[in-house]
Structure 1
Amino acid sequence: MSPSQLAHRQTRQTIVRLLSSMASAKEISQYLKRFSQLDAKRFAVVKVGGAVLRDDLEALTSSLSFLQEVGLTPIVLHGAGPQLDTELSAAGIEKHTVNGLRVTTPEALAIVRRVFQSANLELVEALQRNGARATSITGGVFEADYLDRDTYGLVGEVNKVNLAPIEASLRAGSIPVIASLGETAGGQILNVNADFAANELVCELQPYKIIFLTGTGGLLDENGKLIDSINLSTEYEQLMAQPWIHGGMRVKIEQIKDLLDKLPMESSVSITRPADLAKELFTHKGSGTLVRRGERVLTATSWAELDLVRMKQLIESSFGRELVPDYFEKTTLLRCYVSENYRAAMILTDEAQGVYLDKFAVLDEAQGEGLGRAVWNVMREQTPQMFWRSRSGNPVNHFYYAQSDGCYKLGQWKVFWFGAPDFDAIRGYVDHCAARPPSLRG
């Protein structure tokens, strides 16, 4: 075994161990089953920037090889911006951009083509050294016209995507590695912006996952903290109104929204580091930023406003237990927050001690999408005080710890709260939770 194969094997074993420690076997198998049921070309498009190729090639090849090893074949499209900057500078060609696009002269195009082919082969050969099957595709995918020859030179705008080379690679069980070079109907090579090429490829393939691999590992908030999920249906307008959303980040979010608007509801965008790709794909918690179109969150103040058959199915499926027969008759609803497709819901009641969270239910298929958090966020905007209980072994407790002001252990229960006015209120929360009868059988 060569040193590179040994390093790859060790990295792969590390990925498996990390996954095992971060998620249950049920969680991992759930995602594997979901992905493996897709048509091969609908699994994922992975966009790799040139900086990742330059700085993180080993982690990239290990993660892509791991996907192939578990029976999933991603479609990879790469850029080569930093490499191109270096080569053009060495050739004495000054970089000139207009509206963020690189002006490409005939002299520059020869270097563009060489650099992209070199970067493409470097990734393909690295994958092959690590035991993966990969195919170099540096042409024949993107048919393009001149974007504006007078302004940009030999820069193309994609007008057609030819999937034949990609499909041939997938049929052979090989990872297609695509360079973002276009060509006119007459055969003229054109420089195509990698992000624009990725968008056209995604619109043609309609994949389940679109993955942007970056050095930052996701989108960051104003404090430099990772934003783990964005539900565009409920969060887009509020997010775009934030003063710290500007420049490249603003453009990126707008581009992602425009892209997801053209894709099926189940499609999503993940932004993560190469080393964290498996965790982002195969665990509910993920590792990066997950962006979905999401579902609107509806608010009801009476049971009559809700489809109780679907609500019952949601609760029982989420908890794996049956509701007591008279649950809806005996529970006086204060507010219910439910996603429009009844995949996540919160039921709040008004007790003498304050607002009580009686049920927080999220379907297995919706876990990892950020849908539960989206429902929680809508609730939180309207609820300054709340308490609830959760069984000690509930895997959601780590989320509750982060969202609550405090927790009290009560036998098999943990009592959580936020917004409590004083210690007497907390004592009341605990007493209520201790006396509250169960509403689920078993």
Structure 2
Amino acid sequence: MLPRIPASRVRVPAAVATTRCHTFKAFYATIRSLRQGAVPDPEDLPPSDNDFIVSILRANPSLRDTRSYLASFGPRPKPASAPSADVDRVLSAKKDLSTVQSIPVALEHPKPSPVLSSILDPVIKRTALVKIQGPFTDVQLDSIARGLVYLEKLGLVSVIVVENDTLARGEQDERSELVEETMRIVTTLEKQGARARPVLGAVVRLGPKPGDEEVAEPDFAIPEAHTFPTDLVPIRSALRAGEIPVIPPFALDSFCRSVRVDANDVLGALARGMVEVADVDTSPPSASPEILPSEDVDLTPLRLMIINREGGVPSYARSGYPHLLINLSSEYSHIHDTFHEPWHSTNPTALSNLALARTCLTYMPPTSSAVMVSHRSPSSLIANLITNKPALSSSLPHALLQGNRRLTAYTPTLLRRGLPIRVLRTSNDIDRPKLNALLEQSFGRTLNQQAFYQRLERTLDFVIVAGDYVGAAIVTNEPCEGSNAPISYLDKFAVLPQHQGDGTVDFLWVALHDESYGLGHPFSANPNGGKGGVGEGRDLVWRSRANNPVNKWYFERSSGHVRMGSWVLFWCDAEKRLKLEQARRANAGMSYVEKWEEGRLDRWGRVVEKVPSSWQ
């Protein structure tokens, strides 16, 4: 009997090993890589690519964030095959072996199994519109390209439009310089391991799309360029080939001449055109025979990323530091009105990029978002993709935001289409059927409508409504024994399940802050139809079940809490009073319990315990 040789001692001939290596690398080869050199083996990547994993860990996604990401990029279940197809396969397998063997093996190209496909390509490819607003140095461009390559690994493929702020319109060599900048970005992306393709021909047409004049809206500026489905063929071709299209800001004029236009016009036209083509892809084939559906990359842009040198939009509420989250539906005009004159020099393109985000998000899906980010923080793009949230929640207490080291002049600004916010002062202004549906869907219980509205007629202070009752915050004035001033009580805070995670919760809480415990500060003068920041802030009190999973979110936004049996009592101190007390005591500091705080928890507890249940 021959002795068994341990597997660790078996040696593979060098020629066989070399052949295996070449065969493995050939799997990744493409026509472009054969011309320019093979794509590097994953094991040969530099150690700096560990930043990719670190960036994902720093994003710290919640369970809801993870589910939302997988819903957009995770593998989609394949439709079950019909029983008749299974029978056909069984019958074909029983054919005579001689007939099967007569088929040349070289002519058979079986598709990989679904399991193998999901392992080799575990994500659904989606697209993002990216504006690279230079000029940037080679080092800065390397950092930007590395961030875009990381996004591609997570399933988000960039469609890049190039802009150069220092190149004035109408200069003699502007076209050649923009082409050179485009090629420079392509080279940088390929150096970082991606495949990129310059699309130097104009993909948009100058002027509004035919028929836009008839449907023009008074408050919305239609893009100054447009596309037809056939114009997007170069972009679709690049995406199908696994390449990142890089586009200079050129457009065809009425004489079919390629002219330079503003990059924002190109991006607005692409956002609209890509959404329209993606809709055709999901329609029956007869809907548009000139366009072939794309099964590998969804053309609907999920993100708009504006990468510049100045960062986000400066905010009057944060001493010039950027806005964290912008609700374009309710804050767009207000940001223009509160934009300080010096910011036109320090952030010269902030307002134009704000208008770009508004234009693109109008055409993109409601769950989409835009982010304005400096080249100094490309890793934040990964956090934005996975969580679709700002770097810091805008609904956190103002004192925490002011002292947070993560809030800098280059903190990214997240922008959403958002919803209008309005404040109602009387119960007669409430649309009761819509509010009933909101509360019952949010809490999963049946509302005792008669008792609930009778109580609101006596105690209502205000109701903040987001959109068409997709979210609401109800605040009442609860009488307090031994005090002439009633307690400001947050009776209900509700958001429809399908809008949880799209920014509505933060928009609603910020408006609640501005109308209650944040009132009296200049940064509370937001355009929500309320008091405009004028008045005296009041302590806000509310209760929540001890086992409520939302309590973690409440802990972060409240000034304090105390447990009361099966309930937890939360409160937010009036910020204006705290600021005045701190100034009055100066260096003495505030004590553990101030005189005006003595006994208030007992009073609040007694009042809150008497609040009747709103449910049947």
Change (3 A) 1:37 1:345: farther
RMSD value, Cα: 3.9
Counterpart residue number, 1:418: 573
The answer to whether structure 1 residue 121 and structure 2 residue 187 are counterparts is yes
The answer to whether structure 1 residue 289 and structure 2 residue 413 are counterparts is yes
Change (3 A) 1:199 1:159: closer
Question: Which of 506, 517, 541 is the equivalent residue of 1:373?
Answer: 506
The answer to whether structure 1 residue 349 and structure 2 residue 445 are counterparts is no
Kept in 2: contact 1:42–1:205 (CA 8 A): no
The amino acid that maps onto 2:541 is F
The answer to whether structure 1 residue 269 and structure 2 residue 269 are counterparts is no
The amino acid that maps onto 1:168 is S
Q: Residue 230 of structure 1: CA displacement?
A: 1.4
Change (3 A) 1:140 1:190: closer
Counterpart residue number, 1:241: 337
Counterpart residue number, 1:154: none
The answer to whether structure 1 residue 104 and structure 2 residue 166 are counterparts is no
Change (3 A) 1:270 1:238: same
The answer to whether structure 1 residue 336 and structure 2 residue 403 are counterparts is no
Q: Residue 298 of structure 1: CA displacement?
A: 3.9
Unaligned runs of 5+ in 2: 1-40, 77-123, 208-223, 276-300, 392-411, 481-486, 517-536, 578-595
Change (3 A) 1:173 1:392: farther
Q: Partners in 2 of 1:269 and 1:203 — Cα distance?
A: 15
Change (3 A) 1:17 1:112: closer
SS at match of 2:157: coil
Kept in 2: contact 1:41–1:170 (CA 8 A): no
Counterpart residue number, 2:492: 359
Kept in 1: contact 2:435–2:469 (CA 8 A): yes
Kept in 2: contact 1:136–1:177 (CA 8 A): yes
**Please, what TM-score do these two structures have when normalized by structure 1?**
0.75
The amino acid that maps onto 2:542 is W
The amino acid that maps onto 2:465 is V
The answer to whether structure 1 residue 26 and structure 2 residue 83 are counterparts is no
Q: Residue 14 of structure 1: CA displacement?
A: 1.0
Unaligned runs of 5+ in 1: 86-94, 146-156
The amino acid that maps onto 2:351 is R
* Structure number with bigger Rg: 2
Between the two proteins, the alignment pairs up a number of residues equal to 402
Q: Partners in 1 of 2:73 and 2:136 — Cα distance?
A: 25
SS at match of 2:332: helix
Question: Which of 33, 49, 57 is the equivalent residue of 2:133?
Answer: 49
The answer to whether structure 1 residue 221 and structure 2 residue 315 are counterparts is yes
SS at match of 1:274: coil
**Please, what TM-score do these two structures have when normalized by structure 2?**
0.56
Question: Which of 389, 394, 404 is the equivalent residue of 2:543?
Answer: 389
Per-residue Cα deviation, 1:333-373 (whole angstroms, up to 9, x for no partner): 21322223332211222211412102212234434443233
Identity over aligned pairs, percent: 24
Q: Partners in 1 of 2:302 and 2:358 — Cα distance?
A: 15
Q: Partners in 1 of 2:134 and 2:501 — Cα distance?
A: 29
Change (3 A) 1:352 1:252: same
Q: Partners in 2 of 1:43 and 1:303 — Cα distance?
A: 45
Q: Partners in 1 of 2:66 and 2:147 — Cα distance?
A: 15
The amino acid that maps onto 2:386 is F
Counterpart residue number, 1:138: 200
Q: Partners in 1 of 2:178 and 2:444 — Cα distance?
A: 62
Change (3 A) 1:301 1:224: closer
Q: Residue 315 of structure 1: CA displacement?
A: 3.7
Change (3 A) 1:67 1:118: closer
